[in-house]
Structure 1
Amino acid sequence: MAARPDPMRFQNVAIPATATPSAPERTQHQEWDELADRVAAPPFLRPGWIEAWCRAYAKAAPTVLEVRRGGELAGVLPVIRRRRATAGPTNSHTPLFGPLAADEEVAAELAGRAVAELGGALVLEPVDPAHPATAAFADALLESGRLTLAESLRKAPYVAVEGSFDDYLKELSKNHRKQVARRRRRLEEAGHVTVEIQTSPHGLASALEDFVQLESSGWKRGSGTAIASRRANRDFYTEVARWAAERGSLRLSFLALDGRPIAAELGLEEGGVLYALKGGFDPAYSGFGPGQLLTHESLSRCFAAGLESYEFLGRDEGYKLAWTSATRERVRLRAFPRTLGGRVSRQAHGRLRPLWLRLRRA
């Protein structure tokens, strides 16, 4: 098997000719992280996440478009050139993607550079249609003459952390509250219940093994969606966990009964937000609702820590909607050149509304 490319050996980095080179001791990786800090970006737009994804899934090194202001990195968009289109380094394991930009003007310039440097079709997903940078990027694509489409992919549930945890619980259905309390009481009657959170690199390998076993049990193993079902998936989440542990954002939580883990949640805490990436439980204990109980504990910690939100990620499935009715839309952005081939491609993907109309709905 051929070795995968080094994902951080970026190709065709587009930098304005008038830009001042950054200080040699500051790597692109460091500048990228500093930009993400300045704009409070989610972890999925940081170089560590992109690096882990490319190592696990990419067949070619990414191209990274840059915009600089006075020598300082102000905008980044990593993409991968494919046969039919240029796309972001994303797949079903990516909760969110999009241009990382200091402001809307920079996002628009990134779009201009994408048109000038890449050509052909561009596909970015899953993007946040409500984010100003996404709107500015899409507007700039339209102004450049591109044909743009937006396709709704999913609605990701989240809980806004406002007020007290008790007040939040009172807004949930009475049946749901009673079920959680009853399951917790029954589990405590069965043995000693604890919640443990792995945050550091020390002991992480063992904790990850426990997590993968729980995440891959039950229906996931048979469906092929489990982390353990593919080597690339295991490599990706292992590297993401190590990266997050090194920077202090890992929240790998376990619900244990008499010291035995029966449910787990892989989370990342960044910028006052807890992102729940993956979870699972031991089906032998399904009657206790261990996954539900661990979600309750995670939400409780979010309120206690004064975070801004708890992000379920993924789709608006019933077990998530039991905790909230709020969702965030995620869309696929397509942009085609205004050529015969581009028009044909646009037609092939359906008669969807222009992106800017969707972005302006709110």
Structure 2
Amino acid sequence: MSGQPFQGEAAPRGRVLSFDQVDDVFVERWDRLAERACPANPYFEPAATLAAAAHLPDGHRVRLLVVEEGQQFDHLTFLLPVIDAVRYRRVPVPATTTWRHAHCFLGTPLTVPGAGAATWQVALDALADADASPWLAIDLVDVDVAAAAREGARRSGRAVTTLETVERATLERRPVDDYVQTCFSARRRKDLRRRWRRLTEELGAEPSLVDRTDVDTALEDFLRLEASGWKSQVGGALAVRPGHADFFRGMCRGLARRGRLQMHSLQTDDRVVAMACRILTPDAVFEFKIAHDDALSAHSPGILLALEQVRGFHATGRRFVDTCAAPEDATQNRIYPDRRRLTTVLVQLHGRRGDWAVRNADRIQAAVDRIKRGRERIGQLTRARAVACEAELLQSRDGGSRESIA
């Protein structure tokens, strides 16, 4: 189904649902959509979204934008979690945005294969009818999905623009298993072999990559490992943020029940060096979370874990690995040679304010960026001037001391 009804079927229906309206029957339809979705997005599947709504801040304010088809509207063909915001990217106009919480690394909606502009048109019309917000920010979606959204908006006569496009590190399947040679230079491989030897010496045994099937124990081991390091000190570890550890447990257990969770541990018999939590879809691996023992940081345990995972990628049969890393993550960009292009699309829902926000968001963002760069430059000059003044003061004191001695 692709937004056009088969002969004798009702036209597609768009709705905006609260979680109070989500029952077991709807979740079953949601699961079926997630299994068929192209492209896949595990962050918007029931296991992830329901756990996030139950445990993370603002989860109670999230709604589901859906499109349904069939005589009884019992086929879910589109789903996107959305939330209202006072503003988006400094634009002083209330907006509805894709709900991307702190642990959601992809904003592409769940859609059936072939869903295109017609489906988006139904979804946007439904959101406009239900929503007081003048505009919608569709954040961090695949570029082909964004193209369908733009066309759907144009068909409804809505202002639409692309705010930005970014690329993040991925690893795509190749005909032959040469990923280690592709991802790591000869010099880097030599350095990692040295680090592996020294890590083995410090541990007193050679570590190995273990696929942890003891899910509950593995989750608790991961939470403890992450909380023992620098993330805890800066308040970023799951275990030190209220509700976030419960979200992690709930999401991962839900994924594990469907065979979609993979917990990797680089370890010896008595010590865990590094761990990775990964989400599996039929054609992809999503790198969700990683943690390592900070006491072993000199040996680059996270990189050594990534090396072992790259070694095993070809055997998975999957099409690609999505690192889910920030576009500016230099470490991931060095390791993984391929890129996934993601974009943000802005759509007017109704009214002049929505039209103004969509047409001026890029200018406002550019102005904010210029101000930020200016402040950073002023800060750099101020610090440089302070250093120069301190040097002059020390020099004058030193000169005065020498004169008095003379």
TM-score, with normalisation over the residues of structure 2?
0.73
Distance 2:364 2:312 in 1: 41
C-alpha displacement of 1:236: 1.8
Q: Does 1:287 align with 2:288?
A: no
1:248-286 Cα deviation digits (max 9, x unpaired): 111111111342111011101111211111101111111
- Higher helix content, 1 or 2: 2
1:128-187 Cα deviation digits (max 9, x unpaired): 2233xx32122111332322233337432101121333x222233222211222222333
Q: Which residue of 1 aligns with 2:121?
A: 108
Unaligned runs of 5+ in 1: 1-5, 12-24, 354-362
The structure having more radius of gyration, on CA atoms, is 2
Distance 1:145 1:302 in 2: 45
C-alpha displacement of 1:240: 1.2
Q: Does 1:164 align with 2:176?
A: yes
C-alpha displacement of 1:241: 0.9
- Secondary structure of 1:251's partner? strand
Q: Which residue of 1 aligns with 2:337?
A: 325
C-alpha displacement of 1:340: 3.1
1:212-258 Cα deviation digits (max 9, x unpaired): 12223433223322222312321221111111111111111111134
Q: Which residue of 2 aligns with 1:222?
A: 233
Q: Which residue of 1 aligns with 2:210?
A: 196
C-alpha displacement of 1:352: 8.4
The number of residues matched between the two structures is 329
User: What aligned pairs does 1:12-161 form with structure 2 within 5 A after superposition?
Assistant: 27-40=25-38, 41-57=40-56, 58-60=59-61, 62-70=63-71, 71=73, 72-82=75-85, 84-102=94-112, 103-104=115-116, 105-119=118-132, 120-131=134-145, 134-152=146-164, 154-161=166-173
Q: Which residue of 2 aligns with 1:17?
A: none
Paired letter, 1:51: L
Q: Which residue of 2 aligns with 1:245?
A: 256
Structure 1 residues 55, 7: CA separation in 2 closer, same or farther (over 3 Å shift)?
farther
C-alpha displacement of 1:26: 7.4
C-alpha displacement of 1:295: 0.8
Distance 2:103 2:325 in 1: 9
Q: Is the Cα contact below 8 Å between 2:168 and 2:333 reproduced in 1? A: no
What percentage of aligned pairs have identical amino acids?
A: 24
Unaligned runs of 5+ in 2: 1-16, 87-93, 366-406
TM-score, with normalisation over the residues of structure 1?
0.81
Distance 1:223 1:144 in 2: 46
Distance 1:346 1:109 in 2: 20
Q: Which residue of 2 aligns with 1:22?
A: none
1:59-92 Cα deviation digits (max 9, x unpaired): 3252442221344222223323455222223223
Paired letter, 1:305: T
Q: Is the Cα contact below 8 Å between 2:169 and 2:332 reproduced in 1? A: yes
What value does the CA root-mean-square deviation take over the aligned residues? 2.7
Distance 1:137 1:260 in 2: 49
Q: Which piece of structure 1 moves more, 245-254 or 337-346?
A: 337-346
Distance 1:93 1:77 in 2: 16
Q: Is the Cα contact below 8 Å between 2:41 and 2:110 reproduced in 1? A: no
Structure 1 residues 109, 250: CA separation in 2 closer, same or farther (over 3 Å shift)?
same
Q: Is the Cα contact below 8 Å between 1:7 and 1:54 reproduced in 2? A: no
Q: Is the Cα contact below 8 Å between 2:229 and 2:293 reproduced in 1? A: yes
Q: Is the Cα contact below 8 Å between 1:111 and 1:138 reproduced in 2? A: no
Paired letter, 2:126: R
Q: Which piece of structure 1 moves more, 117-126 or 46-55?
A: 117-126
Distance 1:318 1:162 in 2: 23
Paired letter, 1:48: A
